[in-house]
Amino acid sequence: MTEKYDVLVVGSGPGGYIAAIRAAQLGLRTAVVERDSLGGICLNWGCIPTKALLHGADVAHTLANPGQLGFTVENVRFDIEQLVAFSRSVSDRLSNGVGYLLRKNGIDLITGTAKLADKGVVDVTGADGAVTRYGADHIILATGARPRSVPGLVPDGDRIWTYFQALVPQELPQSLVVVGSGAIGVEFASLYRDLGTEVTLVELAPQIMPVEDAAVAEHVRSRFEKRGIRVHTGSTVSSAVPSATGVAVTITTPAGPEELTVDRVLVATGIQGNVEDLGLEEVGVETDRGFVVTDEWCRTSAFGIYAIGDVAGGPCLAHKASHEGVLCVEKLAGVAGVRPLDKDYVPGCTYARPQVASLGLTEAQARATGRQIRVGQFDLQASGKALAMGEPDGFVKTIFDVQTGELLGAHMVGPEVTEQIQGFGIARALEATDHDLAEVIFAHPTLSEAMHESVLSALGRPLNM
């Protein structure tokens, strides 16, 4: 055995590198094993580069509609390769930043592919094939996830894409079918439509964005269709046959089959955990449907082995992974006052146009609990700031328990709601009631005033609608 650590983290994504930093802060000798680029999928192929591309799409939208603000824009040209290069430069910069943070905190970086050899023992295979053995009192698996495969829709990296190819297109497709309308599918549908691609969005569930409140999903669908995105719900892609010039697609809809030929198909039907070739079975780590099974402290069924982030199951979000990384390390280190994660209240954000942000229960879920609830809603058509920005489409919806005033759910759709949802998260963490929130002074004019108005609406005393 070459080295012995207190904590060894497998994977350097937003769960892994944060867990390592917190462990080092607590005085634990720590190492991170990474086989690819620092920062994981989120930084290199997910959260960060998609937001860089979506920023380009926002600029495209602004340039396409400058007249209302008095501008005339002519002879605008777009270079997809330059936008992709910008997104990659952002990812590279942040990946280098993760390396700096590891060095700053005295964390060893081990490059290679890790496999559990025994409880407390990890073998790492380097690029040259050499295997080095490491020991650790605590091993944290943070290996992330990858796109889920769908029968009959096998990505070929050319005509049928996963999000990997959608992030680095060599040319802008004229037409695109997006299969799946979770956050990934909706973001890419919005992105490519703003860049000029004809987009068809296909979803098996009765509504797009199946995890969101029904009112939010319906609003987004309406706005998408207004933008020219064709939406099919309760539908499947029954066949997709690629050729040298496109993909022949058959969509099975409630109204019958529809056939069309498009340049590309993007498969965005979810993700599956990276659990293969880790030696999990040999050391007794239980998995279920492609994810590692953990308890509320991120402990697996094998003593001394933990799992955080996407590999441990949903919600598969970077900030959930980071939070789990911290609570996992603090619990194993014996820090007092550590609380388990309430997964129902991890905020979810979708960076499409319009943006969507939510936490807690949908209205249907809240009613299903049998509680008496209060629901408030404020339309951005009555928001001075939203009107001044020329973006008054959207609303804020809040759900409270009548008896206790507890915030059960918050659902937002509209401009920059992803920057505002944390306000409801703070309120929830501090156990603020509906009456408490009603007493908060919100600055005017701001988009966040809609949050206040939604609370007042729930209490039956709205002031601006």
Structure tokens at 281: 């079975």
In the three-class reduction of DSSP (H, G, I as helix; E, B as strand; rest coil), residue 169 is classed as coil
Helix axes 183-194, 214-226, angle to 10 degrees: 20
Question: What positions carry a catalytic annotation?
Answer: 444
Mean local confidence (pLDDT), 202-228: 98
If pLDDT is split at 50, 70 and 90, which confidence band does 198 have?
A: very high
Least Cα distance to 270 among 341, 200, 186, 357 occurs for: 186
pLDDT tens by residue, 31-40: 999 999 999 9
* Residue 251, pLDDT score: 97
Query: Between vectors from CA 147 to CA 145 and to CA 148, what angle results, nearest 5°?
Result: 105
If pLDDT is split at 50, 70 and 90, which confidence band does 67 have?
A: confident
Alpha-carbon torsion 182, 41, 293, 408, what sign?
A: negative
Picking from 10-14, 68-72, 240-244, 349-353, which range would have the lowest pLDDT averaged per residue?
Answer: 68-72
CA distance 118 to 285: 11
Tokens 């603020």 sit at which residue?
Answer: 432
CA distance 109 to 30: 9
pLDDT tens by residue, 360-410: 999 999 999 999 999 999 999 999 999 999 999 999 999 999 999 999 999
Q: What is the CATH code for 354-458?
A: 3.30.390.30
Residues constituting the chain: 465
Backbone angles phi and psi of 343, in degrees to 5: -65, -20
* Residue 149, pLDDT score: 81
Cα torsion through 350, 272, 13, 181, rounded to 10: -10
* Residue 380, pLDDT score: 98
CA distance 448 to 385: 9
CA distance 404 to 431: 10
Classify burial at 36, counting beta carbons within 10 Å of its beta carbon; exposed 0-12, middle 13-18, buried 19 or more: middle
Pair 452, 439: CB distance under 8 Å: no
Backbone angles phi and psi of 123, in degrees to 5: -100, 135
Least Cα distance to 53 among 105, 88, 78 occurs for: 88
- Do domains 3-147+272-332 and 354-458 share one topology? The answer is no
pLDDT tens by residue, 421-458: 999 999 999 999 999 999 999 999 999 999 999 999 99
If pLDDT is split at 50, 70 and 90, which confidence band does 334 have?
A: very high
* Residue 212, pLDDT score: 98
If pLDDT is split at 50, 70 and 90, which confidence band does 74 have?
A: confident
For 359, how many CA atoms within 13 A lie in the half-sphere containing its CB? 21
* Residue 346: Cβ within 10 Å count: 17
pLDDT tens by residue, 140-184: 999 999 999 888 899 999 999 999 999 999 999 999 999 999 999
End-to-end Cα separation, the chain, in angstroms: 69
Longest dimension (CA), the chain: 69
Least Cα distance to 260 among 249, 268, 269 occurs for: 249
* Residue 174, pLDDT score: 98
Pair 286, 293: CB distance under 8 Å: yes
Could you tell me the residue ranges of all domains in the chain? 3-147+272-332, 160-269, 354-458
Q: What is the CATH code for 3-147+272-332?
A: 3.50.50.60
Query: What is the residue-averaged pLDDT of the chain?
Result: 96
CA distance 114 to 331: 24
Q: Flag whether pLDDT at 233 surpasses 80.
A: yes
**Residue 239 has what DSSP assignment?**
E
* Residue 44: Cβ within 10 Å count: 21
Buried-exposed string 244-257: b where 16+ CB fall within 10 A, e elsewhere = eebbebebbeeeee
Fold of 160-269: FAD/NAD(P)-binding domain (3.50.50)
Backbone angles phi and psi of 48, in degrees to 5: -75, -55
Tokens 């994504």 sit at which residue?
Answer: 13
Q: Flag whether pLDDT at 286 surpasses 90.
A: yes
Amino acid present at 358: S
If pLDDT is split at 50, 70 and 90, which confidence band does 68 have?
A: confident
Q: What's the count of helices (H) and strands (E) in the chain, helices before strands?
A: 14, 24
